[in-house]
Structure 1
Amino acid sequence: MTPKITFEEHFMAPGFESHSAGFLRLIPEAEAQVLTRRLADFDGERIEIMDRHGIARSVLSLTGPGVQGEPPETAADAARRANDFLAAQVARRPDRLSGLAALPMHDPEAAAAELRRAVEDLGFRGALANSPLHGGYFDAPGYDVFWAEIEALGVPFYLHPSNALAVPPVLAGMPVLQGATWGWGVDTGSHALRLLFSGVFDRFPGVKLVLGHMGEALPYLRWRFDSRFAAYPMGVELKRPPSEYFTRNIVITTTGVCSHAALTGAIGEMGARGVMFSVDYPYEDTAAAAEFIETAPLDPATRAMVCHDNAAALLGLPLLAEAA
C-alpha cells in the first residue's frame, strides 16, 4: 500500500457549529450524526481510518464555511481561536496530523497577519479558505498584501468551495445544482480564473493555489483558455498563456472525484507533479478513495508522487525517500 498524504481533510472547532447547521439539515439525520462525530474526532476513529488505508499524514482544515461564515467584525478573533484549537489537537499527534490555517479573508491585512502567526508560531503548513460569503473575491487589488505574504512564507493556499455570493440566474430555482453537485465547483473554479486573469500569478509568481475536486474541472479546458483568450483578450495582458499557470501556480487534488479516466486526463493536462491525492474526510469515503488511487493505471513512481511526494514537497514535509 502506497503511503499517502491527504490535505483537504476537515474538523470542527468549538463555536463554529452554527455555520454548518444549514448544510447538515440537508442530509439524512443518521449521516449528519456520523459527520458531526467524525469532525470532532482527532485521535480515535480518524487515526484508525488513516491506518487502515495507508494515510501517513492528514493535514486538517476547518470545515466550511468556517471563518468565511463570520461577520467581518468577529472574523479575525474567530480565526485565531480556530487555529489555536487546531494547533492543540495537532500537538497531541504531530506524527500524523498537521494544520492549514483558517483566515479572516474579509480583511486582507488581518488575513496576512494571521497567516504569518499560524505558520511561524503554530507550525501550520499553509492555509485554506472558502469562497467568500462577505466582501469580494480575492483578486481585488487590496489582496496583494495577502498574496505577497503567501509568497514570502512559501506556503500553499487552498481555495475551497462554499455557497456563491449570489445564486446565478441559471441556477435559480434549482437547489440541487447550487451546492456540491455543481454550483460550488462553478463558483470556486471561476474564482481561481479571476486570480489567473487578473495577473495575481504574474505579480506573485511564487504563489501556489490548490483546487480540489480534480481542479474544479479547469484542467480539461486549458487548451480552450489559450485559444479563446488569444482571440478575445478583452484588454487583459498576461506574461504567459493561461495554460502555463497550471502546475506552475495552480495545482489540484483528487478529492471527491474517484474516476480513473478523470485522473488520467488531469495528469495528461497537468503533468504528474500537478496532481495530488486527497479524500475530503469525513464528507467522502476514505475506503473508496484509497481503492481508487491504489488501482489507478499509474506506474509506481507516478503513484508515489500523486499519493505522497507532490504534497510533501508543497507542504514542506519529508519525501518518501527521506522518511525511509
Structure 2
Amino acid sequence: MSPLVDVHRHHMPDITVAFLRSRRTWPYLDGDVVACTPGYGYRITPEMTDLSRNIEEMTAAGVGTAVLSTIVGVVDQLPGPEAATLAREVNDEMAGLARSGGPRLVPMATLPLSDPEAAAAELVRALDLGMRGALIPVTVVGRQLHELDLDPLFEVAEATGAPLSLHPTSPAFAEHFADHALMSSLAFPVDTTAAVLRLLYTGVFDRFPRLKVVVPHAGSLLPYLMGRIDREAGKYGVRTEPPSRTLRRLYVDAVSLWPPAIRLLLEVMGADRVMFGSDYPFWSTPENVAALAETTTDERVLSGTATALFRL
C-alpha cells in the first residue's frame, strides 16, 4: 500500500501568533485562546505551532505527504488591506516551512478574500512560491462566499487548475451554537453545506465548470442530504437539473471517525472524488487512519486522487 496523502492538515505560522498577540480587538489572542469573533474561538496547543510534532504524527500514522494549510479564523476576519498584508506574510512563512520539510509538506495558500482582486493576485503569487492551491473559509467577516464577488479568484483558480479547499470558520450565527460543542459538531457542517449550495445556486459552478473545489469533513452534510436537496430544488424550481449532478463534480475529504459515514460518502461521491484527511491537530491522525481502513483500501482514496488533484 502506498503511503497516505493527507489533504486536510493544519499548522499555525509564527507570524500569525505574533499578529494575534499584537491586537486587542477581534481576532486577537486572549491568553492561549484565539478570540476570532464574539462567540467563537479556539485554544492554541503545542501541536498547532510545533511542526516537528506534526511531522512525527504523520510518520507514525503512515502519512507520506500532507497538504498543509493554516488554521482559519484570523485572515478571514480582517478587512482587505490588513488581510492582504498578513496573507502575504503567512504564505511566505508557509512556503519556507514546506521547503525546509522537503517534499512531504505541500503548502496551501491563505488569501485575503475580503478583497477579491487582491485574493486572485495573491493566489498567482502563491502558486509561483510552489503552493498547490488555497484554503478558502466559507464565511468571511460575517458573509458567505457567494456574497463576495469572488469571480476574479475563481477565474484564476480555474485557469491554473489550483484546487480551492473549503473550510468552516466563525459563522454569522455563532452565538446560537456556543454551548455543548455544537459549533464544531453541527454549526460547521451546516455553514459549509449552505456555502456550497449557494455557490451552486448562484451559478459559480456553471460559470467555472472546471473549478476544482474540495468540501471538508466528509463532504459536510452533502452526502446525507443529497436526495433531499434534489427533491426540494425540483419542487421549488431553484434549478432545472438535479443539484447532485453538479455536486458530484466536487471533491471531498474523508475526515470522519465513523466508518458508516465514510461508506456513504464513497457510495454517493465515488472513490475518485474522496481523499484521506485527518484535520490534525484538531483530530487524531491514527484514529482517522483506522476509520478509513475499516471502509476501503482503494488506492484512489488513500493517495491517488490527491496526487493527481494537487499535482504531487
Calculate the TM-score normalised by the size of structure 1: 0.85
2:95–2:129 CA contact under 8 A, matched in 1? yes
Residue 168 of structure 2: aligned partner: 161
Residue 38 of structure 1: aligned partner: 47
Residue 225 of structure 1: aligned partner: 229
2:177–2:183 CA contact under 8 A, matched in 1? no
CA distance in 2, matches of 1:22, 1:206: 42
Q: Does 1:147 align with 2:160?
A: no
State the SS of the aligned residue for 1:46. helix
Amino acid at match of 2:75: V
Residue 295 of structure 2: aligned partner: 297
Following superposition, the deviation at residue 136 of structure 1 comes to: 3.0
Residue 308 of structure 1: aligned partner: 303
CA distance in 1, matches of 2:97, 2:295: 36
| Residue correspondence of structure 1 range 1-324 to structure 2 within 5 A | 2-17=2-17, 18=20, 19=27, 21=29, 25=33, 36-42=45-51, 44-119=52-127, 121-134=128-141, 136-140=143-147, 142-167=149-174, 172=176, 175-176=179-180, 178-233=182-237, 236-237=238-239, 240-248=241-249, 250-255=250-255, 257-294=256-293, 296-298=294-296, 300=297, 302=298, 304-317=299-312
Amino acid at match of 2:106: S
CA distance in 2, matches of 1:132, 1:251: 19
2:132–2:311 CA contact under 8 A, matched in 1? yes
Q: How many residues align?
A: 297
Structure 1: runs of 5+ lacking an equivalent = 27-31, 318-324
Amino acid at match of 2:153: F
Q: CA RMSD in A?
A: 2.2
Structure 2: runs of 5+ lacking an equivalent = 21-26, 35-41
Alignment identity in percent? 34
Calculate the TM-score normalised by the size of structure 2: 0.88
Following superposition, the deviation at residue 230 of structure 1 comes to: 1.1
Cα displacement string for residues 231-255 of structure 1 (whole angstroms, at most 9, x for unaligned residues)? 102xx445x420011231x211122
1:133–1:165 CA contact under 8 A, matched in 2? no
1:68–1:130 CA contact under 8 A, matched in 2? yes
CA distance in 1, matches of 2:77, 2:253: 24
1:7–1:278 CA contact under 8 A, matched in 2? yes
Q: Pick the structure with more strand per residue.
A: 2
State the SS of the aligned residue for 2:185. coil
